[in-house]
Amino acid sequence: MLLLLLLLLLLLLPPPPPPPPPIMYYFYYYCHYYYYFYYYYYYYYYYYYYYYYYYYYYYHYYYYYYYYYYYYYYYTTFNHHHHHHHRLQ
């Protein structure tokens, strides 16, 4: 049940934000004011972007660690109960 809840939470996570628009480079060449304006926006955006990815991957690794631990536990208990069946075949 908890695994299903974690999976639902994982699906509910918003998609990663898109990279900054390439128009930023045009602004840099055409106008320096636009360049500085985009420069601040660019760093603010990437700060959020990397913070989001750090949280996203940390959540993923925690989730998969729990998933494999759960799967290993399930597999070992299942084999213990049905070990004699494998010996007969």
Tell me how far CA of residue 49 lies from CA of 33, 52, 54, 60, 79, in angstroms. 24, 5, 9, 16, 44
For the chain, the domain total comes to 1
Identify whether 69 is part of a domain.
yes
Does a structural domain hold residue 18?
no
**Domain annotation covers residue 7:** no
Cβ atoms of 53 and 16 within 8 Å: the answer is: yes
Q: Kindly give the confidence (pLDDT) of every residue in the chain, 89 residues in length, as a single tens digit, with 9 standing for 90 and above.
A: 667 766 666 666 555 444 545 665 666 666 666 667 777 777 788 788 888 888 877 777 777 888 888 888 888 887 765 555 555 55
Let me know if residue 13 belongs to a domain.
Answer: no
Q: What is the pLDDT of residue 23?
A: 61
pLDDT at 68: 84
5 in any annotated domain: no
- Residue-range definition of the domain harbouring residue 62: 23-88
Number of C-beta neighbours around residue 89 at 10 A: 4
Q: What pTM did the predictor assign?
A: 0.26
Give residues with Cβ within 8 angstroms of 34, minimum separation 6. Answer: 27, 28
